Amino acid sequence: MLKILKFIFNCQLFIKRSLAIQTENLSTLTEQLVRIENLLRDTKEREIIYLNAKEVEEFVGFSDSSLRRYQDAGKIKIAKIGKNRTRYFNKSEIIEFKKWYWNLPSDFT
């Protein structure tokens, strides 16, 4: 009878430990899913918007030669080159450049 009670006690202990581990794993998985969801939301909010050279010139307020001069100096980077060698720029980088160029406040958008 004592062996049976020990066996039952050991089984109960095993079940409690297993449930504790499963609960811990579940909470860890839940935290990871929340992190993934936040990353996806942040990524979606930060979708890249491209401007062509003409749009950059109009937005910043300077000529094509000035745009090329700042490109050559490394102040403005081309994000990608499209068909017919059209230059495209990352809008968020252009906004930061415009703030610097015109000495605008940091909360300007």
Question: Tens of pLDDT along 33-71?
Answer: 778 777 777 765 567 889 999 999 999 999 999 999 999
Strand bridging mode 80-81 / 87-90: antiparallel
Structure pTM?
Answer: 0.58
Residue 109 included in any domain: no
C-alpha 54: how far from chain center: 28
Same domain for 55 and 33, yes or no, is no
| pLDDT class of 2 with cuts at 50, 70, 90 | low
Judge if 38 and 71 occupy the same domain: no
Instruction: Find out whether 70 and 76 touch, Cβ atoms under 8 Å.
Output: yes
Q: What is the pLDDT of residue 34?
A: 77
The pLDDT, as a whole number, for residue 109 is 65
Same domain, 43 and 54: no
Query: Residue 11 half-sphere exposure, CB side, CA atoms within 13 Å?
Result: 6
Residue of 63, 44, 43 lying closest to 53 (CA atoms): 63
**Tokens coding 67:** 């745009």
61 and 41 both lie in a single domain = no
Q: Residue 87 is part of which domain span? A: 50-102
